[in-house]
Structures are given as structure tokens and as C-alpha cells.
Amino acid sequence: MQLSRAIGFFHGNIFLFSTTIGAGIFISPKGVLKSSSGNIPVSLSIWALCGILNIVNGLCAAETGATFPRSAAVYFLLKRTLGSCVAFLHVWIKLFGYFIGLAAQSLLVASSLIQPFYAGCSPPELPKKCLALAILWSLGLLNIRGVKTVSWFQTLSSLVKVAILCFISLAGIVLLVMGRKENVSRFESALDAELPDASQIAEAILQGFYPYVGSTVLVNIAGEVKNPSRTIPRSLISALSIVTVIYLLTNISYLTVLTPKEIISSANFQKCTDLEQSSAISQFIIGSDSVAATWVDRVLPSMQWVVSLGISASVIDTSSCGILSGSRLLYAVSQEGQLPLIFSMLNEHLSPAAAVIQLTLLTSIAVIPSNMTNLLKYVGLASWALTGLTMTALIKLRYQHPDLPRPYKAWLPMIFVSLVSSAFLIFMPIIQSPKMEHIYQVVFVLSGVLYYRLHVHLNQHSVFSEKITCYLQLLFNMSPSEDQQNCISTEKHGL
């Protein structure tokens, strides 16, 4: 009983497409353009820069997956270099990101699916949340069936979303090549736009980085990747390069059809009395901050239902990948004794069913802020903070253990570039415009330290907890995994 290494180069690319291409490309263009002061060249440059930084970060993290070829490899790296407390804080922040991200994605899909039944106005919260829960638990049950079943589901859904983005990109290129005056003029006058300051650029990068979040999915599930030292870097370079090009072409298509002001204001709902000028689906396709809504209504109003429902369905596989990655994090941390033992047990499909159910349950009760743009900023800031921790741990590991076997080794300057960019994006907004929300984030991290002290350092092996573990093991028909006995320990490697 151990996790099956069933993910090769092809499915590695599919998983990267699934996690990176999601709701972000339909929401973030508004935030990036707004933070860029409506400057088109700066906005497109930020999208390209985010793609390059994402590839650099992914390749640096790939060294972790090759050195520690296990699920949640970054957690093992942090534990062995910066200590158990820092590693647990990484888990604390990461799981919070999973809860918020998965809940937001489920609500986005549910909103677009239920909107046709409430034409003209936003749907009620109760039916929307019930449908979101149904989608979330369906994906949870899919993950319980094992990684092979999830892989084929991801393949089909990824082809759908890539096809839709390619359609939007090609349509924009055709309109631009046709040379209509209104389509070309906004690019000709783009250089006259106002230039953003350093703080705005940092904010724009945080907004633009969200659509690329998920590039470390193969590192998180390295225990199920065939030949991780070879598969992970190759998949990262090929998949993320394609994603960067698609994102740039999609944004050019948006800007070909819509002006910067229209994109920035695309999130605003019109009143129910203005339905003659704008259809209901153009108001709400993927979410209240969707740019694709106005684009579809402007270019192909007759196909808006097909395109909107196709986009909505394509977001689902991002959630499925998130459940897979998050459950493996619970699985690995449980093996190290920092979470209940039941999360490290596998069912007959070689899936940590208890971890999947726990992640789905906690996501179900997550509270989602109404402002999606702010939510994307918080998730992006947390991602950069974790990236900085990972790069620091990689440098420390190289200094302390230069002879440790590394089947794949990232170029050292790339690690420093990633570390410096992370520090800039974390501290620049705080220095330029300190806000109360920064204190809330610090309090959240400190609450993780408190939980660590109470839960990890206190004796949790009571008779009551053992009875619960035994009962759940029988209920879900699970057994302890064999690789738990072969877990990479600090004592074994002298780290």
C-alpha cells in the first residue's frame, strides 16, 4: 500500500494546464490593467514577466522534488533546513490558500451555472452555495477514486479550457489583422498612457501572478510522478511556456475588442432595468470580476451561452487538482506526526481518502469575501511569501549539505532572482501603503504558531484518538501506507 507513480510527462503537462489555467485569466486582467494605470505596454509586460518568474520559481522548486521525491516535497525541505515550526507554518498558510481557492472556484462555477435561471439579477446566495457544495463534493469523490481517474478527467477538461482560450486568442488576432480603426487605435496611442509607480507595479504583479499559481503542483505530488528529476523540469518548461504565450494572446484579444476603461469597469453589474443594452450572461459569466463576459457579448453575442458554460466547466478541473495537491499535503504532514495518523492511510484506490474528505469538509465551511480582486491579492501575497521561504531553504541546504544527492540542480542565480523578487513583492506594498490587513495577516501566521505549540508539542496519542482512528480506518476501508515506514527522516539524512 503506497502511492502509485502514475504521472508521466504527458499527464505532468496536463496537471500544470489544469492548475494554472483557471478563473484567473478571466478575472485578473482587470486588476493588472488597473494597477498599471491603464498602460497597455506595461500591462502586457507584467503578464510576460509573471510568466517568466513563474517558470523560474517552478524550476527552482523542481530541485526540491528531485531531492525529496515525495508528496509535499517543499514541506520536507523546510522541516530539514528551517525547522519543524516553519514547516508547519508553511502547511498552515498553504492549507488556508487551498480552502479559499477551492471555495472561490466552486462558487464561480456555481454562479455561472445558476445565473440563467435568474436572468437580469445576481442569483440568491442559498441555491448558489448549495450547487457549489455539490460540485465540491463531486470532485472530492472523484479524487477518492485515485490519481489515475483524476488524470483522465484532467485531460478532458484541460483540452476544453485550452480550446476556449485559443478561440479567444485567434479571434483577437483576426480582428487585429483586419485592421479596423477602433481596434488598432488603442494600441497606437498606448505609449501616451500614464506610467505606474513602483508600488503599483508590485500590486499589478501580485494580480498577474494569480493566474499562474499552481506551477508547483508536480512538486506537491512528486511521490506520484514517474522519474521526478526528469519529468518535473521538462513538464514545467513546456507547459508553462505554452501557458505564458496563451495568456499574452488572450490579453491582446481582450484589448483588441475592449478599451482599458471598459476592462477595468467590466466587473460592475448593470441595473435590472438596463437589460435591453446588456444580456444577463454578459454581466456574470465566471464571476462578478470577469472580463470575458463583456468580450463574448461584444464579439459573438449569439455564442455567449456556449462559451460561458464551457469556460465555467473548464474551471472545475482546477479545483480537482487543488483537492489532489492539498490532500497530499495532509498525507505527508500526517506521516511526520504533525497531523492525525488517519490522514496518512490509503484506500483500495491508493488514495488518502480521509485527507480528501477533511480538505473537502473544511473547504465547505470556508467564508469567501465578496471582493474577488482583494482575494486574489491575498492569495498571491501568500504564494510569494512561501516562495521566498522555499528559496531560502534551498540556499541553506546547498550551503550545509553540498554533497547531498541532487538528481536535478537549479541554476543558483535563478534561486536568488526568485528570492529577491519575492522579497520585493512582499515588502514593497507594506512600505508604500501600510494597511490594517497586513496586521491581520501577521495575526493569522501567529495563530498558526499557537496551534503548532498546542497540537504538535502536546501528547496527542490518547486512547480516545486511537479509537477514532480505528473506527475511521474501518469505515473508509483504509490501511497505513508502506512508504510511511520509509519516510525521509531528519536523523536518517543527518539534516
Higher pLDDT, 381 or 460: 381
- Helix, strand or coil for residue 494? coil
Please determine, for residue 280, whether its predicted confidence score (pLDDT) is greater than 60: no
Please determine, for residue 183, whether its predicted confidence score (pLDDT) is greater than 80: no
Give the burial class of 66: count Cβ atoms within 10 A of its Cβ; 0-12 exposed, 13-18 middle, 19 or more buried: buried
Q: Which residues share a beta bridge with 221?
A: 71
Look at residue 285 in the predicted model and tell me its pLDDT: 35
Lookup: cell for 402 = 553540498
229-242: pLDDT as tens digits? 899 999 999 999 99
Look at residue 13 in the predicted model and tell me its pLDDT: 92
Look at residue 350 in the predicted model and tell me its pLDDT: 85
Identify the band that residue 282 occupies on the pLDDT scale cut at 50, 70 and 90. Answer: very low
Please determine, for residue 315, whether its predicted confidence score (pLDDT) is greater than 80: no
Most confident among 103-107, 187-191, 223-227, 273-277 (mean pLDDT): 223-227
What's the rounded Cα separation, in Å, for the pair 17 and 22?
9
Identify the band that residue 473 occupies on the pLDDT scale cut at 50, 70 and 90. Answer: confident
- Helix, strand or coil for residue 474? helix
- Helix, strand or coil for residue 72? coil
What's the rounded Cα separation, in Å, for the pair 249 and 460?
53
317-336: pLDDT as tens digits? 888 888 998 999 999 888 88
Please determine, for residue 244, whether its predicted confidence score (pLDDT) is greater than 90: yes
Look at residue 202 in the predicted model and tell me its pLDDT: 78
**Mean predicted confidence (pLDDT) in 89-103:** 82
- Helix, strand or coil for residue 225? strand
Give me the phi and psi of 71, to 5 degrees please: -60, 145
Look at residue 357 in the predicted model and tell me its pLDDT: 92
Look at residue 240 in the predicted model and tell me its pLDDT: 92
- Helix, strand or coil for residue 229? helix
Quick one: what percent of the chain has pLDDT higher than 70?
78
**Mean predicted confidence (pLDDT) in 200-224:** 83
391-403: pLDDT as tens digits? 899 999 988 888 8
In this predicted structure, which of 12-16, 149-153, 201-205, 351-355 has the lowest mean pLDDT?
201-205
**Mean predicted confidence (pLDDT) in 132-146:** 90
Higher pLDDT, 100 or 188: 100
Q: Across all residues in the chain, what is the average pLDDT?
A: 78
Look at residue 215 in the predicted model and tell me its pLDDT: 82
Q: Is 0.85 topped by the overall pTM? A: no
Lookup: cell for 238 = 513546456
38-84: pLDDT as tens digits? 788 888 899 999 899 889 888 888 888 888 888 888 899 999 898 88
- CB atoms under 10 Å from CB of 92, counted, come to 17
Quick one: what percent of the chain has pLDDT higher than 90?
11
Look at residue 274 in the predicted model and tell me its pLDDT: 32
Please determine, for residue 457, whether its predicted confidence score (pLDDT) is greater than 70: no
What's the rounded Cα separation, in Å, for the pair 91 and 444?
13
Look at residue 124 in the predicted model and tell me its pLDDT: 80
Instruction: Answer positive or negative: Cα dihedral of 203, 207, 208, 213.
Output: positive
- CB atoms under 10 Å from CB of 435, counted, come to 10
Look at residue 190 in the predicted model and tell me its pLDDT: 60
Q: Kind and range of the H or E element at 480?
A: strand 479-480
Identify the band that residue 289 occupies on the pLDDT scale cut at 50, 70 and 90. Answer: very low
Look at residue 208 in the predicted model and tell me its pLDDT: 83
What's the rounded Cα separation, in Å, for the pair 120 and 117?
9
For cell 521566498, name the residue: 388
Look at residue 322 in the predicted model and tell me its pLDDT: 87
Lookup: cell for 10 = 504527458
Q: What are the Cα distances from residue 58, in Å, to 27, 34, 187, 218? A: 23, 27, 32, 9
Place domain 9-268+279-486 in its CATH homologous superfamily: Amino acid/polyamine transporter I (1.20.1740.10)
Plot region of 433 (φ>0 → left; ψ -120 to 50 → alpha; else → beta): beta
